[in-house]
Amino acid sequence: MNTPKITFIGAGSTIFVKNILGDVFHKPALKHAQIALMDIDETRLAESQIVVSKLMESAGAEGTITCHLDQKEALQGADFVVVAFQIGGYEPCTVTDFEVCKRHGLEQTIADTLGPGGIMRSLRTIPHLWQICEDMTEICPDATMLNYVNPMAMNTWAMYAKYPNIKQVGLCHSVQGTAEELARDLEIDYRDLRFTCAGINHMAYYLTLEKKTEQGEYLDIYPDLLAAFESGKAPKPGIHHAGRCVNLVRYEMFKKLGYFVTESSEHFSEYTPYFIKPNRPDLIERYKVPLDEYPKRCVEQIAAWKHDLEDFKNADRIEVKESHEYASIIMNAIWAGVPSVIYGNVKNDGLIDNLPQGCCVEVACLVDANGIQPTKVGQLPSHLAALMQTNVNVQTLLTEAILTENRDRIYHAAMLDPHTAAVLGIDEIYALVDDLIAAHEGWLPAWVHQ
């Protein structure tokens, strides 16, 4: 066939579908793509079909759109499988993650990557990702999976551990998004930045960060960034989400570590033991840590979506600018043979020497007609690797828990979480996990409840 088929699992996430497929339709080689939208929610699926149809027409794309409630049907003939869903949604599962932890004295900000919230999200998500892998193995074994589902590291690790045959990459927007943000902070053109970055998802660091001069040379901008922070001029655009989040946590970590981390302050504050502590409101205020940030965003996004949906239904055309997501770049590189470099989450197969082999790492990847080819980093600065290891410990134990159906490892993963261990005693951690498992009845694999 001379046109690719793109299957979107979780197509009820209409805004995300709009952004990803908007990017696809900007690529001449992909304008004739067959689009298969799949979701378990028939109403949301129909809403996405309306948006994608208008988006396709506005972009002059001449492909086809089909909608599916059956996953296997949607995967027939797929070349690319985009995965973007949230098992349990905002209600009941996200609400449960926050409310149960709060009752036990553990405050969270986002709770989708690490800690008890990330652990529970992974337990309820991985079985569904495995089912996609199983169906792909049967139906479209040569397709490439582009996975956007959090917690990225644990989900990706569990998939390649059980289904090494599946061609997959975990995708996030924190590397390119943060680079753009830093360019704004320093009032320089993002296109003049050059950087190398490596680590784990949500805790990768810019190992080099340079700007192009008028003479065509590249200069290290870390001194400029540190000077701007200490002078009070940065972060300039750091206030967002209705003014709740100020990007101070990772600037403080930059000052201490000498390298800037890719993930936002609200995320990073709960990956470490330094910023959210009982009876320390001074830390919350000093670093502007937005507790309960994710539930607040969910409420805002649900309200905004109702308004946006009416606008989309009434619009004759829907046009979107290209985003900084990697999905369309990867598809174009593989399908049309246009070489590109992206940052992806992949198996640490000799890529980073001082992180555990086999864990999930985020590194630069060359993408072309040969597929996704991760690049070797070598040694990370030892203090960065040590900080990452505290998060890899949790990922290791949770992945082992679900691969071996070992309930004890769930508790061990929570025990090793840096933020949780800084707040709760060991018996309190066990009690918290017990309550979370009980509250997730019906959402977790059966062995967890045995």
Q: Determine whether 421 is exposed, middle or buried from the number of CB atoms within 10 Å of its CB (0-12, 13-18, 19+).
A: middle
DSSP class of residue 140? -
The residues pairing with 362 across neighbouring beta strands, listed in sequence order, are: 199, 345
Residue among 173, 241, 324, 440 flagged as catalytic: 173
Helix 14-25 to helix 42-59 angle (10° resolution) is: 20
- Which of 191, 258, 190, 251 has its CA nearest to residue 223? 258
User: CB atoms < 10 A from the CB of 297, how many?
Assistant: 18
Active site residue 449: no
For the CA atoms of the chain, what is the radius of gyration?
Answer: 22
Six token digits for residue 309: 């949906």
DSSP code per residue over 144-156: EEEE-PSSHHHHH
Give me 107's structure tokens. 């405050």
The rounded distance, in Å, linking the Cα atoms of 260 and 176 is 13
Angle between helices 115-139 and 382-404 (to 10 degrees): 60
**Are 208 and 195 contacting, i.e. CB atoms less than 8 angstroms apart?**
yes
202 assigned binding-site residue = yes
How many other CB atoms are found less than 10 A from the CB of residue 148?
21
CA 447 to chain centre: 27
DSSP 3-state of 34: strand
Tokens of 77: 């003939």
Contact 75, 1 (CB under 8 A): no
Max Cα distance, the chain (Å): 66
CA 379 distance to own-chain centroid: 24
CA-nearest of 200, 125, 194 to 351 is 200
Q: For residue 370, say whether it is annotated as part of any ligand binding site.
A: no
CA distance readout (Å), 183 to 65, 129, 250, 287, 321 = 38, 36, 15, 22, 20
Is 419 annotated to bind a ligand? Reply is: no
At 77, give phi and psi (nearest 5°). 75, 15
Binding region for Mn(2+): 172, 202
Active-site residue set = 173
The binding site consists of: 150, 172, 202
Q: Which residues are annotated as a binding site for substrate?
A: 150
